[in-house]
Amino acid sequence: MQILEVSLRRFRGFENLTFQPENHVALVGEPRAGRSDLIEGLRRVLTSDGTRHATPSELDLWMVNKTQRAEVEVVLGDLGPELEQDFVDHLEAWDPELGGLAEPKPPTEAVAVDDTTWVLRLCYRIDWDADQERAVHWVDFPEESDPDSDTFVGVPRRLHDLLPVVVVESRGGPLRLGPRSDFRRILAGADGGRLGDAFEALVDAVASAGEDLAETADVKAAVAEVLRPVEGPLGVDATSEGLVQFVPEGGSLSGVLRTLQPALDLGGPGHLSLHRHGATTAALLQAGEAIAAIGTADAVVLVDDFGEDLDTTSARHLASEFRQRAGQAWISTRRSAAMDAFPPQEIVRLHVEDGNRHAAQIAVP
């Protein structure tokens, strides 16, 4: 899958920007030119998490103008037979030679007519609800919606989640076992039914260790000292057996997983926590984990602020890995070494001119 065209209208600092990428995209530009905003706009339109976990605000609106709707629209091509079948009722025709939608829309029973190909068009929108004094947002099929009459056909989550999109985020660091981490996604893909059993055994082991700790003589004596002054208000006997146990946070699996942190043995004094190995090691593992999480070779991969803590050689190498593994990579970066992995026509420079953001696509010399 590839993004054939992206349009940002009144979204954050973009008043009106439309461009058609040449295969992969390396986003560069001066500060405040909108690299991160563009990646965020793509995340919101392409993933169901973009509307489920992102909270829109008036700052997402161009010049904080609450009277105008913000929009991020994408045209997706190279869908493949499975996605074409999943979205068969929502496909439109695209003319590659003209670089635009074909008119009129052909029927969707079989293949696109003439020299057109099937594409999927999605639009993320933000409106300001004056009555509730808050912003609301959604993703819809623009071909089937009528903004003038406020009629929108939303994208169901079950279809949204079928899009092969990977968002590389630094939240929480690498090798985390939390339910929304990249590492858990990798584990789920490789799981042969054993992961659930392993997590259950882990919780049982931690709970058992907590029980053993509570039964030691020193702990029991200390607990009794704490409880003795408040026996009356609590209505307990400070010497009662099994009155206090030590369990994972909340007594749940998620509580156990939150307390586990990765430790590495890289040939030094043994296993050290990840932060003791420094920012570069963490950044390398973060990038490696994200590359492994791509999974399918036709995924659109979104990476913001790539290479901030990487050395020159690693930035060049890992940018090349992202470009090779992804169906289409969108990498925002300030590292010039990362640009070595991209031919000139795939480099898009964002800049500000006359108070507006623009995109300049570099031509082949």
**Which pLDDT does position 110 carry in this prediction?**
46
Phi and psi for 228 in degrees, rounded to 5?
-60, -45
Which of 173 and 63 is assigned the larger pLDDT?
63
Q: Among residues 63, 245, 52, 234, which one has the least CA distance to residue 154?
A: 52
Model confidence, pTM: 0.81
**Which pLDDT does position 248 carry in this prediction?**
67
Cβ(13)–Cβ(176) under 8 Å?
Answer: no
pLDDT, tens digit, 9 for 90 and up, residues 318-361:
999 999 999 999 999 988 899 999 999 999 999 998 888 999 98
Residues 148-168 have a mean pLDDT of 93
Question: Is residue 234 over pLDDT 50?
Answer: yes
> Which of 109-113, 136-140, 200-204 has the largest mean confidence?
136-140
**Which pLDDT does position 106 carry in this prediction?**
55
**Which pLDDT does position 171 carry in this prediction?**
59
Residues 175-192 have a mean pLDDT of 71
Q: How confident is the model at residue 188 (pLDDT cuts 50, 70, 90)?
A: confident
Q: With the C-alpha atoms ordered 185, 190, 191, 195, is the resulting torsion angle positive or negative?
A: negative
**Which pLDDT does position 269 carry in this prediction?**
74
Cβ(12)–Cβ(58) under 8 Å?
Answer: no
